[in-house]
Amino acid sequence: MAIAEQQTSSQAEHVPGDKSWHSIVLQTLKRNEISLIPYVPDRVLTPLIKGLHADPFFTTFATAREEEAVGIVSGAWMGGRRGAVLMQTSGFATLANTLASLAVPYQIPLIMIVSERGTLGEFNYGQSLVCRTMRPVLDSLALEHHTITRLDELEFIADRSIKQAVTTQAPVALILNPLLTGGKVFDK
């Protein structure tokens, strides 16, 4: 399957024409001049994170919490630099206060890329429960969000969503589903 090949292919190389999901995300960020990328790690996001670290266009670094990363990209936006936060579903679950008191009321185009755990083969009950809190939180704040399952739709959804976030000054969450990334599998 294509997904399996993506997972095992060389992870940090983002050569032109590379149609892996992580290369498409990286190129889409770059094309939209999103250069500041704080993240809290996730196994599935590893090839994207490696690619971002390897590309000097991006300032990529780990933070201790997702809230911190949201504060950093919010400050950067106000200072004239665009950023995006990478996280896992469980990290999104820590963000309700920050979204409702910073990104939404101050009208900041916060771009969140969320690796989706808790579905399609999830083996950790805690993860599956956390995942179920994500869309109700997004909906309760009327936040734009898209779940991406198909490689052929990834670039369109990511590119248009980023442009919409910036022009409407509103946060957006791009949820990367296991159908796109392969997800994390039970391997112990």
Torsion of CA 41, 24, 107, 66, to 10 degrees: 0
Number of residues near other proteins (by CB under 8 A): 33
Look-up of token digits 């590893």 = 46
Residue span 73-92 as binding mask against other proteins, x where in contact by CB under 8 A, dash where not: xxxxxxxxx-x---------
Sheet bearing 34-39, strands edge to edge: 59-62, 34-39, 82-88, 111-115, 172-176, 144-148
- Residue number with CB closer to other proteins (24 or 85): 85
Short-list 33, 88, 95, CA closest to 59: 33
The nearest distance, CB 165 to other proteins, in angstroms, is 15
Q: List binders of other proteins among 13-42 (CB under 8 A).
A: 36, 38
Q: Which residues contact 148 (CB under 8 A, 6 or more apart)?
A: 154, 157, 158, 174, 175, 176, 177, 180
Q: What b/e sequence results for 19-51 when a residue is b if at least 16 CB atoms lie within 10 Å of its CB, and e otherwise?
A: ebbbbbbbbbbeebebbbbbbbebebbebbbbb
Stretch that binds other proteins, among 2-10, 58-66, 122-130, 155-163 (CB under 8 A): 58-66
The nearest distance, CB 64 to other proteins, in angstroms, is 2
The nearest distance, CB 96 to other proteins, in angstroms, is 11
Q: List binders of other proteins among 120-179 (CB under 8 A).
A: none
Stretch that binds other proteins, among 59-67, 85-93, 147-155, 177-185 (CB under 8 A): 59-67
**CA dist., res. 128 & res. 121, Å (int):** 10
- Residue number with CB closer to other proteins (143 or 180): 143
- The single residue among 26, 70, 86, 114 that binds other proteins, judged by CB under 8 A, is 70
- The single residue among 62, 120, 129, 185 that binds other proteins, judged by CB under 8 A, is 62
Write out the residues near other proteins by the rule CB under 8 A.
Answer: 36, 38, 59, 61-65, 67-81, 83, 97-98, 100-102, 105-108
